[in-house]
Chains A and B, each alone.
Chain A
Amino acid sequence: MNNRLKVLRAERGWSQQDLAVQLEVSRQSVNAIETGRYDPSLPLAFRIADLFGMAIEDIFQRG
Chain B
Amino acid sequence: MVSETAARRPVWLWGFTFFVGMFGTGFAARWFDLGAIPSMLVMIPPMLLLTPFVRATERAQAGCGALSPAGRRYNRRGMAWSFSYVLLLAVAVIGSKTLHAQGPLLWLLALLPALPVFYLLWAMARYLVEEQDEYLRMQVVNAALFATGLLLGTATVWGFLETFRLVPHVPGWAAVPVWAIGLGLGSFVNRWRDK
Question: A25–B67 Cα gap in the complex (Å)?
Answer: 10
User: Does B125 belong to the interface (CB within 8 Å)?
Assistant: no
| Chain B positions 114-141 with a Cβ under 8 Å from a chain A Cβ | 132-136, 138
User: Does A11 belong to the interface (CB within 8 Å)?
Assistant: no
Contact yes or no, B133 A25, CB < 8 A: yes
User: Does B166 belong to the interface (CB within 8 Å)?
Assistant: no
| Chain B positions 49-77 with a Cβ under 8 Å from a chain A Cβ | 64-68
CB distance from B73 to the nearest CB of A (A): 15
Contact yes or no, A28 B193, CB < 8 A: no
Contact yes or no, A31 B65, CB < 8 A: yes
Interface size class of B (residues with CB under 8 A): 10 to 19
Over the window 15-59 of chain A, the binary record of Cβ atoms lying under 8 Å from chain B Cβ atoms (1 yes, 0 no) is 011001000111111111100011011001000000000000000
Contact yes or no, A38 B135, CB < 8 A: yes
Contacts of A29 in B (CB 8 A): 133-136
User: Does B194 belong to the interface (CB within 8 Å)?
Assistant: yes
Contact yes or no, B135 A32, CB < 8 A: yes
A-B contact sample (11 more), CB < 8 A, given A25-B135, A26-B133: A25-B132, A26-B66, A26-B67, A27-B66, A28-B65, A28-B136, A28-B194, A31-B194, A33-B135, A37-B194, A38-B138
Interface residues of A (CB under 8 A from B): 16-17, 20, 24-33, 37-38, 40-41, 44
Interface residues of B (CB under 8 A from A): 64-68, 132-136, 138, 193-194
